Amino acid sequence: MNTPKPALRVLLVCMGNICRSPTAEAVLRDFVTKAGLGVHLDSAGTEGYHIGAPPDHRSIRHAKKRGYDLSTLRARQISAEDFTSFDLILAADPANLAELKRRCPASQHDKLALFLGDAPLPDPYYGEAPDFENVLDLIEARSAWWVRHWQAS
């Protein structure tokens, strides 16, 4: 009898878990679902500013225009258990990656990376509508890349 391969567990992380990481969670979930991949997704923030709050209303609005639903997501802060329970932890930018490395046991550092690979995902929080649209463009493009990467492995 074949034992099914456990789902890949991926955590997306930004600072407050109200703009970039919940957007990435919802968009990437849509991409992996459409590709039929077994990937468990979640998001968190390195800071606890917004624990329990929904994503920023602008993130919700712009994502909804593209067919992504962020309305059920709630902000949470990364926990010590996340470093062992997730297979891959993707940070929005180098500052959050550095904070993850600071908190993460050295034995788990190989799980940490930037969502965009070698570039920061810009924070739209203090921006305007085009900044939120740009973040969505970047997340959609990288989500397609992650799907191809996981399909090939």
Tens digits of residue pLDDT in 51-101: 999 999 999 999 999 999 999 999 999 999 999 999 999 999 999 999 999
Which helix or strand (DSSP H or E) is residue 79 part of? none
What integer pLDDT is reported at residue 112 of this predicted model?
Answer: 98
What backbone phi and psi angles, to 5 degrees, belong to 151? -65, -35
Collapsed DSSP state (helix, strand, coil) of residue 40: strand
Handedness of CA 28, 33, 37, 43 (dihedral sign): positive
Known catalytic residue: 56? no
Domain ranges of the chain: 8-148
* Active-site choice (14, 76, 93, 142): 14
Question: How far from 89 is each of 60, 62, 128, CA to CA, in Å?
Answer: 23, 25, 28
Rounded (10°) CA dihedral 25, 30, 31, 32:
80
Task: Report residue 138 CA to chain centroid gap.
Answer: 12
pLDDT score of 120 more than 70: yes
Domain 8-148 is of which CATH architecture?
3-Layer(aba) Sandwich (3.40)
Residue pLDDT, tens place only, 35-58: 999 999 999 999 999 999 999 999
Question: CA-CA distance, 94 to 76, in Å (whole number)?
Answer: 20
Are 42 and 25 in contact by the 8 Å Cβ rule? The answer is yes
Work out the angle between the directed axes of helices 20-35 and 57-65 (0-180°, nearest 10).
30
* Active-site choice (42, 56, 93, 123): 123
Tell me 91's DSSP state: E
Known catalytic residue: 102? no
Question: CA-CA distance, 115 to 19, in Å (whole number)?
Answer: 14
pLDDT interval class at 5 (50, 70, 90): low
Known catalytic residue: 123? yes
* Active-site choice (20, 29, 76, 142): 20
